[in-house]
Amino acid sequence: MPFVFLSLVIAFSVHEFAHAYTAHLFGDPTAKQEGRVTLNPRKHLDVIGTLLIFIVGFGWAKPVPVNRNNFKNPRMMGIVVSAVGPLSNLFIAFIGLIVTYLLFVTGGYDSSIGVMSALRMFLNHLVELNAVLFVFNLLPLPPLDGYRIIEDLAPQRVRIKMHQNVQWGTFVFLLIVFIPPLYANTLAPLFYFARFDLVLWLANIVHFIAG
C-alpha cells in the first residue's frame, strides 16, 4: 500500500503540473495564480481523493483551472493542455521501465537486499499505475482529459450538445466506475491492456533503444 500511495502521489503531481505548466506556457495565468505550476503534491492532492487512496486504493487530484480564452488558439492549445496530462503518465511509466532495465543489466534487479527488493516493488507499481492512468485519462467521458480533447476537436454544434449533456456523461462515468458488472466489461479490460500489453510495448522500446 505505501508503494501504491507513493506512485499515485507522483503520478497525480506530475500529471497536474503538466496541465498547469503547459497552460501557463500558452499564456493562461490561472493555474500560476493558484500556485499549481509546481511539483509539490500538497498543491495538487484533493482531500477526499487522497483519503480514498487509503480506503479503496485509488483516488484523484484537484483539477487544474484553465481559462482557454487566454490562449491565442483556444481549441488547438486546449487539446495540447489536455493531452500533456496523460502523456506525462506515459512518460513516467517509460522512465520507470528504463530504471528497471538498468537495475536488471547491472544485477540489482536480482538482488535479495531489502532496499533493492522494495525498489523493484515500487517500480512495478509506478510503471503499471501510470500506464493505467494514461489509458484511463484518455477515455472520452467527463471529467477526463479524453473528453476535453474530443470536445475541442468537435464542431461547434456538437460541442454545444456536449455541454448540454455533460452531466449525463459524468453519470455514465460514475456508473462504469462503481458498478462491478459495468466495470468488469469496460474498464477492467482496458486496465489489463495498460498493465500488460502497453507496458510490454514500452519495455520493448526500452530494449530497442538500449540495443
pLDDT of residue 173: 87
CB 13 within 8 A of CB 35: no
- The catalytically annotated residue of 16, 34, 128, 151 is 16
Look at residue 45 and give its three-state secondary structure.
strand
pLDDT of residue 178: 85
Look at residue 186 and give its three-state secondary structure.
coil
128 catalytic, yes or no? no
pLDDT of residue 54: 75
Residues 6 or more apart from 129 whose CB is under 8 A from it? 4, 7, 8, 11
pLDDT of residue 131: 98
**Blockwise average pLDDT, block size 10, the chain, 211 residues:** 89 97 98 97 90 74 95 96 98 97 80 77 96 96 94 91 88 89 94 96 94 76
- Residue 17 grid coordinates: 503540473
Taking the C-alpha atoms of residue 101 and residue 195, their distance in angstroms, rounded to an integer, is 17
- Please state, in angstroms and as integers, the Cα–Cα distance from residue 41 to each residue in 13, 28, 78, 89, 167, following that order: 5, 21, 24, 15, 29
Taking the C-alpha atoms of residue 4 and residue 132, their distance in angstroms, rounded to an integer, is 13
Residues 6 or more apart from 137 whose CB is under 8 A from it? 15, 85, 86, 89, 144, 145, 146
DSSP per position, 136-163: HHTSSSTTSHHHHHHHHHS-HHHHHHHH
Residues 6 or more apart from 110 whose CB is under 8 A from it? 104
- Please state, in angstroms and as integers, the Cα–Cα distance from residue 25 to each residue in 65, 84, 134, following that order: 14, 12, 22
- Please state, in angstroms and as integers, the Cα–Cα distance from residue 64 to each residue in 35, 121, 186, 199, following that order: 10, 30, 27, 27
CB 132 within 8 A of CB 195: yes
Taking the C-alpha atoms of residue 110 and residue 138, their distance in angstroms, rounded to an integer, is 35
